[in-house]
Amino acid sequence: MILISGKEVAESLKKEIATEVAIWVGEGKRAPHLVAILVGNDGASQTYVGHKEKMSAEVGFRSTVLRFDADITEEFLLGEIDKLNRDPEVDGFIVQLPLPEHISESRVTEAIDPRKDVDGFHPVNTGRMMMGMPSYLPATPDGILELLKYYKIETAGKKCVVIGRSNIVGRPMANLLSQKGWDCTVTLCHSRTKNLKEEVAQGDIIVAALGKAEFVTADMVKEGAVVIDVGITRVASDKTKSGWKLLGDVKFDEVAPRCSYITPVPGGVGPMTIISLMKNTLKAAKKEIYG
Ligand code: L34
């Protein structure tokens, strides 16, 4: 069993991005500028946005975090998005999800200028991605592809089972893995899938992205499978200082011995999500996708 270190791959890609940024700035261009909007005070979201800020600084970006109270109106948020769309000093921006229930995530996502949509969540980027056209790829699926590439994991002709059909992970992941160059035969499983255990057990590559702690157990995993764990749930723990620990969607201790490769939580997919956002922001600054 080989433990896939997202931390290590992220570190290596970080150096490449930092070098590219240094060359860009050395040519007299403005440093790429990423803005993150954070609404409310969800603990996990604050941690993730904090990691995005830190990584931005490490690769040489300028970054700004706009923090708003959970009770702002949708109209106000759309106004802030409009300002960022028009601001020539902002290359890319994201609105960290989830949003408070009274704000529509789809209206917010659609309001972002696709040219600045470094999350790759806008329908224009999603559509372009599905057609194999140049687009910003959603960060988590792109980060997973980078892990497969780094570890030289064969995907062509493999049976890949994706569990979870979210707009930001499961569905784009299933789509990308089925595209030319990756060439997987993909099954997308979800809460209404019949015989889920049997479906997952067919997978040469399993991507668990349903958001249920320790859902994938050893009996669902074929011997020698590659297991990618996207889940990250905080559960109470009396063994940590913070009072909680992180669990993936995979029951790691029993699944790991059966795998050829497996990602840990933390230190697996999470750091790659951050790196892919940096890749997209650099592309935005260089106007690589839309010119
Ligand atoms: N708009 N909303 C928007 N864009 C995104 O790309 C995200 N996502 C997901 C949630 N909402 C979003 C993230 O940023 C998930 N996500 C994310 C980012 C980073 C990490 C996890 C999820 C991460 O850094 N994980 C670390 C541990 C973090 C911890 O200590 O809690 C890891 O090693 O897995």
**For helices 123-130 and 170-178, angle between their N-to-C axes, nearest 10 degrees:** 30
Is 21 part of a structural domain of the chain?
no
Task: Give the DSSP H or E segment for 34.
Answer: strand 33-39
Question: How far is it, in rounded angstroms, from Cα 56 to Cα 51?
Answer: 8
Would you place residue 114 in the very low, low, confident or very high pLDDT band (cuts 50, 70, 90)? very high
Q: Which residues constitute the domain of residue 93?
A: 27-115
pLDDT digits (tens, 9 = 90+) for 228-264: 999 999 999 999 999 999 999 999 999 999 999 999 9
Residues 197 and 232 in one domain: yes
Residues 167 and 209 in one domain: yes
Give the CATH number of the domain where residue 110 resides: 3.40.50.10860
Question: How far is it, in rounded angstroms, from Cα 179 to Cα 155?
Answer: 11
Would you place residue 270 in the very low, low, confident or very high pLDDT band (cuts 50, 70, 90)? very high
Q: How far is CA 173 from CA 29, 37, 49, 219, 228, in A?
A: 34, 25, 22, 24, 11
**Total number of domains in the chain:** 2
Residues 152 and 252 in one domain: yes
Residues 90 and 143 in one domain: no
Centre of ligand 1 to C-alpha 48, Å, is: 5
Backbone angles phi, psi at 15, to 5 degrees: -60, -40
Q: What pLDDT does residue 154 have?
A: 98
Residues 250 and 147 in one domain: yes
User: Which of 48, 169, 173 to probe ligand 1 with, by most ligand atoms within 8 A of CB?
Assistant: 48
Residues 143 and 185 in one domain: yes
Is 149 part of a structural domain of the chain?
yes
Give the CATH number of the domain where residue 190 resides: 3.40.50.720
Last residue of a domain, one of 83, 115, 147: 115
pLDDT digits (tens, 9 = 90+) for 12-34: 999 999 999 999 999 999 999 99
Residues 262 and 146 in one domain: yes
Question: How far is it, in rounded angstroms, from Cα 152 to Cα 146?
Answer: 10
Residues 192 and 146 in one domain: yes
Catalytic entry in 119, 142, 229, 249: 119
Ligand 1 pocket at CB < 6 A: 47-48, 51, 94-97, 119, 139, 232, 246, 265-267, 270-271, 273-274
Residues 146 and 58 in one domain: no
Is 15 part of a structural domain of the chain?
no
Residues 168 and 213 in one domain: yes
Last residue of a domain, one of 115, 150, 172: 115
Backbone angles phi, psi at 117, to 5 degrees: -85, 75
Is 152 part of a structural domain of the chain?
yes
Q: What pLDDT does residue 100 have?
A: 98
Residues 162 and 66 in one domain: no
Query: Nearest residue CA, atom 18 of ligand 1?
Result: 48
Atom of ligand 1 minimally distant from the CA of 267: 33
Is 90 part of a structural domain of the chain?
yes
Is 1 part of a structural domain of the chain?
no
